[in-house]
Structure 1
């Protein structure tokens, strides 16, 4: 058999298969074609990735990539080159009122995959910048349950869930009411809901008490106030109960939503995140989040094994999306792969509250395969 592309001599790390060894991986017709020894002689194109790590295509479960359509959007292709993410999941940049433009002008022409949590607010996150910051949930007249359900049903190929933002900043006087509307849309469409939480009110516990199996709480390891842990490091009982019933906990680092203190306390109690995401947007891409590989590196610094870190951005993210064809390098799966390196040194990594941890290792993006073909790396 002749393959379109073979990555040779790389350390293939695929948690979905329990695979971690130096082996070749071949792609044909936009899919993974083979994993084995000495595949390069049968390939039209060969890339030697000696000393590099090859993983399933990284999935960033929380991004904002409606570039040009919202003030917080970043260019998805530029971002992909920077961080070797093959699937960006946009979380609420667009609502039902402006989703068609997002689809036509960004999603469809983009060289990487973009999936969407559609905002329940009509125009999504429409006023998010250094100068203007208006929580879209403050005005309940913008909550568009019928429109959101209709748009989601008409775009099932790319819309995988419903987004809502809750907290003093995002929903203000509306409190927790927008969450109830989003959950209603989720019930009507059969889609999961991703919930942003910022400062109280409402409280962390009030929010997660309402979430259903498969729903995602993002910013789950934020700092005080509305942290997942109490002052003594005890995990809030509502957090434990939510995980037991199947609620998923996502990092969503962003500008203000990741705390070293909270993360240390959670991991010390054996509570790892289900998924790790960057929450990259126009105000976090220059720090402290930067990108997905920087966010992943922070969990490596916290002592999570590399395989678990990669799983939280591949197979576990795919499970949250209910897209089993992603997040794996199994033969026949979508031909997406990320090429990474693990560098030694002294790397200062900052959380959202200003604490800096110097890490002895960090993950670096080296390139990627999208749809079975080598896609642009930062150096190409």
Structure 2
């Protein structure tokens, strides 16, 4: 078999196959073609990655990349280059009223993959900036159930779920009502739902108790108030019950949703996130979230094994998306890969409350393969 590209001598870590060893990865016709030692190059482009880590293309399950269409949107391609991400999941930047523009002007021309949770609010997250903060769920007149079903069904190739934001900031006087509407849309379309939770009311417990198997609670390691643990560091019973029935827990770091204290308490009880995501947007890309590899590095500092961290941004994320062709380097999978390094030193990592941990190791992005082609250099 002839190959288009071979990554030579990488430490291939692919949790979908239980793989962690030095070997080669080959790509052909936009897909992973082979994994093996000393693969025959033939006429292929060969990149010796020098024992750097090669993973399936990283998936960031929570981003905001409707650049120019919403005030919180960032440029997906620039973010991907810096962060080693090959699939950005936009989580509700656009609703049914402005999704066509998002698709035409951002999703379709982008060199990296963008998939989306469609917001149940008509115009998505339309009033989120450093000067204006209008929760799109405050006015229930903006909840567009019929429109959301129509747009989701017309864009099933890129719409992978329904998004709703709940909390004092996001839904305000409407309380938990937007979640009830979003759940109806998710049920009607057969799609999973992602729920944002910010400060109470409503409570973390009330939101997570309504979620179904396969739904995602993002911002799952929030600091107080609306943390998943009580004042004694015990995990709330509703959180444990939700995991037991199959609700997925996503980090969604962002500008207000990751606390070292909460993370330590959750991991001490053996409660690890299903997926790790940055929630990168215009107000946190310069800190404290920065990007996906910075967010992943925080879990390295917390003592989470590297293989589990990579799984939380590859195969686990692909399962949450119901896209088994992603998040794996199995032959026949989508030909995306991320090249990473774990560097030693002293790296200050900050949470959303200002606590800084000086980590001894940090993950850096060193290269990206998209659709079987070298896209960004080591």
TM-score bucket of the superposed structures, by smaller chain: over 0.9
Q: Which residue of 1 aligns with 2:171?
A: 171
How many residues end up aligned between the 2 structures?
A: 378
Q: Which residue of 2 aligns with 1:132?
A: 132
Q: How big is the shift at 1:40?
A: 5.0
For residues 72-83 of structure 1, the aligned pairs below 5 Å read 72-83=72-83
Q: Which residue of 2 aligns with 1:64?
A: 64
Q: Which residue of 2 aligns with 1:359?
A: 359
- CA contact 1:87–1:115 (8 Å) conserved in 2: yes
- Whole-Å Cα distance in 2 between the matches of residues 4 and 59 of structure 1? 23
For residues 195-344 of structure 1, the aligned pairs below 5 Å read 195-344=195-344
- Change over 3 Å in CA distance of 1:43–1:22 after alignment to 2: farther
Deviation track 1:66-115 (CA, whole Å, cap 9, x = no partner) reads 00000000000000001010000000000000000000000000000000
- CA contact 1:212–1:247 (8 Å) conserved in 2: yes
- Whole-Å Cα distance in 1 between the matches of residues 48 and 353 of structure 2? 41
Q: How big is the shift at 1:39?
A: 1.4
- Structure 2 regions of 5+ residues with no counterpart? none
- Structure 1 regions of 5+ residues with no counterpart? none
- CA contact 2:22–2:51 (8 Å) conserved in 1: no
- CA contact 1:6–1:40 (8 Å) conserved in 2: no
- Whole-Å Cα distance in 2 between the matches of residues 345 and 25 of structure 1? 29
- Whole-Å Cα distance in 2 between the matches of residues 312 and 335 of structure 1? 19
- CA contact 1:249–1:274 (8 Å) conserved in 2: yes
For residues 56-135 of structure 1, the aligned pairs below 5 Å read 56-135=56-135
- Whole-Å Cα distance in 2 between the matches of residues 40 and 230 of structure 1? 57
- Whole-Å Cα distance in 2 between the matches of residues 278 and 66 of structure 1? 16
Secondary structure in 2 matching 1:235: coil
- Whole-Å Cα distance in 1 between the matches of residues 49 and 72 of structure 2? 35
- CA contact 1:299–1:309 (8 Å) conserved in 2: yes
Q: Normalising by structure 1, report the TM-score.
A: 0.99
Q: Which residue of 1 aligns with 2:182?
A: 182
Q: How big is the shift at 1:298?
A: 0.2
Let me know the Cα RMSD of the aligned residues.
0.7
For residues 138-153 of structure 1, the aligned pairs below 5 Å read 138-153=138-153
- CA contact 2:35–2:331 (8 Å) conserved in 1: yes
- Whole-Å Cα distance in 2 between the matches of residues 271 and 288 of structure 1? 23
- Whole-Å Cα distance in 2 between the matches of residues 95 and 376 of structure 1? 32
- Whole-Å Cα distance in 1 between the matches of residues 29 and 370 of structure 2? 11
Q: Normalising by structure 2, report the TM-score.
A: 0.99
Q: How big is the shift at 1:43?
A: 4.3
- CA contact 2:3–2:41 (8 Å) conserved in 1: no
Deviation track 1:278-320 (CA, whole Å, cap 9, x = no partner) reads 0000001000000000000000100000000000000000000
Deviation track 1:180-235 (CA, whole Å, cap 9, x = no partner) reads 00000001000011000000000000000100000000000000000000111100
- CA contact 1:8–1:40 (8 Å) conserved in 2: no
- CA contact 2:90–2:117 (8 Å) conserved in 1: yes
- Whole-Å Cα distance in 2 between the matches of residues 44 and 333 of structure 1? 19
